[in-house]
Structure 1
Amino acid sequence: MATEHVLVGAAAKIPVNSSSPIISFTPVIVPSPGRPAELRLRVTAPASGDALPIILLSHGHGPSNWLSSLQGYAPLAEFYAKHGFVVIQPTHLSSRTLGLQGSQGNEMYWRSRPEDMIQILDQLDRVETTVPGLKGRLDRSKVAGIGHSFGGFTMSLLLGATNTDPRDGTVFRPFEPRIKAGVLFGPTGNGGADMSENGRKILPFYGLDFGTMNTPTLTIGGEDDVGPHLTIRGADWHWDSYTHGPGSKDLLRVKGGHHGFGGISGWDAKETEDESPEMLSMVQRMLLAYLRTQLYEGDKSWQQASEVLTELKQLGSIERKS
């Protein structure tokens, strides 16, 4: 691709389908009675084509001023739109751009984040009619979810995981069966004894259990993604969605990966500790291959990409279970 960075290096060996021009439209405003701020979306889509699969993209809760909103994650949204997906990004209420504070029991608006995604699916007619040229072009039977960091927690809940608030035992499981496959970048892991003392203060509601998360999921874990502010464990804490999730699960271990995965949250983002066009291109391509295989019966993209990656051990490795 002429638009790719010249430094993508060996990741260029991982095959992708051809790319096409894209459009980005924002804001799409979804009616949300009672929500402290209106639900605003960015929609990035191929400029042409029909029967387009859908990606819901949940942003993280990082230190940046803008990236944790619909303004961020262009490296993901643009790439997947170029390769045939309609990518829908909300600004969750936890975004620093809104300056809101969640109430006790809904700290960081952790409950409203999955509700945002469900609202989007309920309002796809409005999304289609608001974005010029999109009406009638969505394939609603092919919906995938991507989440990064705290967005990984959000997406884990939608994929079927259960959160039990350790303070009062309240169980929350907003499982969304319309999402057929998920991809989690550095998601939060198990709660309980695996949390650090500081982690329990930051996330007092946190008691995640992946034992009910049956939806096919790819977890992308950085081998150097260590977070003592949240957990007493090492980088493998971020892989618990793979280790403890039942059913079809895959793990992409990223060599040298920290929490930014080469720069998924924004171009040249200061908060990315592992800035790398090669790493970014690798995770972009592997994720694309995974979703194509999960959403299209008989598609061999994941198998082909995984075989190529076995020869690129300096970039990462794949584990899988069924």
Structure 2
Amino acid sequence: MPTPAQQQTVAVKPIAVPFDERDVVLQVKVTAPRQGADLPVIVFSHGNAWSMDGYEPLVDRWAAAGFVVVQPTHLDSRRNGIGFDDPRFGSIWHVRITDLHAVLDHLPHVADEAGLAERVDLSRVALVGHSWGAQTVGALLGARVLDSAGQAGEDFSRTDVSAGVLVAATGTGDSLTPFAQEHLPFMRPDYSTMTIPALVIAGDEDQSQMSTRGPDWFLDAYDLSPAPKDLVVVPGGEHTLGGIAGEAVAETTDTDPGRVELVADAVSAYLLGALDVDTDAWAEFGDAATAGRLAAVWAKR
């Protein structure tokens, strides 16, 4: 798979996305290979407090592999300064979901603004998210948010999304810590309705401060969702999986550039297969990762 050193990429930002219901303009960054046509699209949802300017180690590698990557800045980005005491915070999980809907609804506009209208294939669209972004993506793949009584909320799924990838996705809400119960009560996904094909990526040393369970909490998106689903478990991986949000960022506790490349390439290979760009890519990745003991790869069909 090509790397950023082998294929040039270009980025355009900021691009404003029409969204009348938002008090802060929804902006995206678009990264793409400098050459190529019929390019599939990844819409990426960042983790808590990040923005369209994060996750460059992943995004550059995806673009080098032939994807157009669209990164919105969600309302919880630290640049917007919305803390737990802000009255808007309780609904940010819902705003995140509507952000992704708005981006998907306006992908032709985004592609045109980025100068890619003639090079992008809008029939091949996938969603990827990390951490809170993974729960956000899960909602568009069919997962629902349970209320305090255990009742499933609104269905936010999209029929125009072919596949998704959930990286370090929130587990079920039955083991939330008191802090999470108070400030993040929406962290209660129900994966039983997440029917769209997806890859789940988790680190086997990811211990969340939001759950009393261990790293197995991050396997719920795979274990509790219907087939078809695939799973990659990364040895030694913690919540940032080697530093996927950026080089030398403060929250990375398991710095490992090789692990970051593994995660990036897992996503690329899975989506190349899921979007019918390269139907051999995912099997080849799985064989190489297993043979090199780089990761454990599982599937249910």
Q: TM-score, normalised by structure 1?
A: 0.88
Kindly report which structure 2 residues correspond to 1:122-137, keeping only aligned pairs within 5 A, or say none.
122-132=105-115, 134-137=116-119
In 2, Cα distance between equivalents of 1:257 and 1:248: 24
Do residues 177 (structure 1) and 159 (structure 2) align?
yes
In 2, Cα distance between equivalents of 1:31 and 1:101: 25
Do residues 115 (structure 1) and 98 (structure 2) align?
yes
CA contact (8 A) 1:165 1:206 kept: no
| 1:210 alignment counterpart | 191
CA contact (8 A) 2:4 2:60 kept: no
| 2:13 alignment counterpart | 26
Do residues 96 (structure 1) and 78 (structure 2) align?
yes
In 1, Cα distance between equivalents of 2:256 and 2:43: 25
CA contact (8 A) 1:166 1:206 kept: no
CA contact (8 A) 1:55 1:145 kept: yes
In 1, Cα distance between equivalents of 2:183 and 2:8: 42
CA contact (8 A) 1:254 1:317 kept: yes
Offset at residue 167 of structure 1 (A): 6.5
| 2:298 alignment counterpart | 319
CA contact (8 A) 1:164 1:172 kept: no
CA contact (8 A) 2:242 2:259 kept: yes
In 1, Cα distance between equivalents of 2:138 and 2:60: 23
Kindly report which structure 2 residues correspond to 1:30-109, keeping only aligned pairs within 5 A, or say none.
30-61=17-48, 68-100=50-82, 107=90, 109=92
CA contact (8 A) 1:183 1:217 kept: yes
Deviations 1:9-33 (A, max 9, x none): xxxxxxxxxx521110000001211
List alignment gaps of at least 5 residues for structure 1.
5-18, 63-67
Compared CA separation, residues 32 and 297, structure 1 to 2 (3 A): closer
The amino acid that maps onto 2:100 is M
The amino acid that maps onto 1:196 is T
In 2, Cα distance between equivalents of 1:27 and 1:282: 29
CA contact (8 A) 1:101 1:107 kept: no
Compared CA separation, residues 2 and 154, structure 1 to 2 (3 A): closer
Offset at residue 168 of structure 1 (A): 9.1
- Give aligned-pair identity as a percent: 35
Secondary structure (helix, strand or coil) at the match of 1:97 reads: helix
The amino acid that maps onto 1:319 is W
In 1, Cα distance between equivalents of 2:89 and 2:71: 21
Compared CA separation, residues 90 and 169, structure 1 to 2 (3 A): same
Return the match for 1:252 from 232, 255, 258: 232
List alignment gaps of at least 5 residues for structure 2.
none
Do residues 306 (structure 1) and 293 (structure 2) align?
no
Return the match for 1:222 from 196, 199, 203: 203
In 2, Cα distance between equivalents of 1:270 and 1:181: 31
Offset at residue 308 of structure 1 (A): 1.2
Offset at residue 298 of structure 1 (A): 6.6
Return the match for 1:161 from 143, 163, 169: 143
Q: TM-score, normalised by structure 2?
A: 0.93
| 2:170 alignment counterpart | 188
Secondary structure (helix, strand or coil) at the match of 2:74 reads: coil
In 2, Cα distance between equivalents of 1:257 and 1:2: 22
Secondary structure (helix, strand or coil) at the match of 2:165 reads: strand
CA contact (8 A) 1:161 1:173 kept: yes
CA contact (8 A) 1:114 1:157 kept: yes
Secondary structure (helix, strand or coil) at the match of 2:145 reads: strand
Compared CA separation, residues 115 and 2, structure 1 to 2 (3 A): closer
| 1:11 alignment counterpart | none
CA RMSD of aligned residues (A): 2.0
Deviations 1:27-71 (A, max 9, x none): 000121130100000000111211110000000015xxxxx0011
The amino acid that maps onto 1:202 is H
Matched length: 299
| 1:271 alignment counterpart | 251
Do residues 280 (structure 1) and 256 (structure 2) align?
no
In 2, Cα distance between equivalents of 1:118 and 1:181: 15
The amino acid that maps onto 2:22 is R
In 2, Cα distance between equivalents of 1:32 and 1:219: 30
Compared CA separation, residues 104 and 247, structure 1 to 2 (3 A): farther
The amino acid that maps onto 1:201 is E
